[in-house]
Amino acid sequence: MNRPSDAMLAYVRKLAPVPDEEWRFARTLFRPRRLGRGEYLTREGDVAVEFGWVLRGLVRKYYLGRNDGEVVRGFAAEGQLAGAYASLLSGAPSLLNVQALEETDLLVMDYSDFVQLYERHVCWQQLGRKVAESLLLEREEREHQLLRMNATDRYLSFRREQGDLVGRVPQHQIAAYLGITPVSLSRIIGQLKGRF
């Protein structure tokens, strides 16, 4: 895999059998985009028009909560998709912010171009369905964690599933993702000291 898009093709082909000719065409629709640390792919209130494949770097997806607090919905690192999907699908202003936590290189595509791919070949419909299914499963697991697990178990789950992010994401943002205060997270980490 010598081109950045090769890793994306490997991911895509795990989900749908995309013929070489279709991939060559789709690759022309992607363009590189670099986000500096703190820059946004999508801001709350803007209508999202593009999504991206993270080549290098890290983004967080978050909402502004009460009293200017933040509620972190998730993260996207290398090899993952990033975007404000509800806004892309509905054409409504985004409720979600998608912000780079590090300098981030993406391959971005306009959602309108992706929708046109649906008409070209059935493989794109299958890919769209598989991505939607994956996002639904991810969301259901997240809801389960927030509703059924205590804070310590949520942190342990985060470490198990996304442990590579522990040193890259500020602790207060991990706390916001887990739905707890930074003080509570520090206490949990202290109690678990020596386990990692």
Residue 151: which of 188, 111, 186 has the closest Cα?
188
Lateral strand order in the sheet of 40-42: 40-42, 97-100, 58-64, 70-77
pTM, entire model:
0.90
Question: For residue 65, what pLDDT band results from cuts at 50, 70 and 90?
Answer: confident
Residue 100 and residue 36 in contact, taking contact as beta carbons nearer than 8 Å: yes
Q: Which CATH number fits domain 4-135: 2.60.120.10, 3.40.50.2000, 1.10.287.90, 3.30.70.270?
A: 2.60.120.10
Who's near 107: CB < 8 A, 6+ residues apart? 4, 5, 8, 30, 31, 32, 33, 52, 53, 55
As a whole number, mean pLDDT of residues 79-107 equals 97
| pLDDT, tens digit (0-9, with 9 covering 90-100), for 53-64 | 999 999 999 999
| pLDDT for position 1 | 42
- The predicted-structure confidence for 126-152, as pLDDT tens digits, reads as follows 999 999 999 999 999 999 999 999 999
pLDDT tens sequence across 162-194 = 999 999 999 999 999 999 999 999 999 999 987
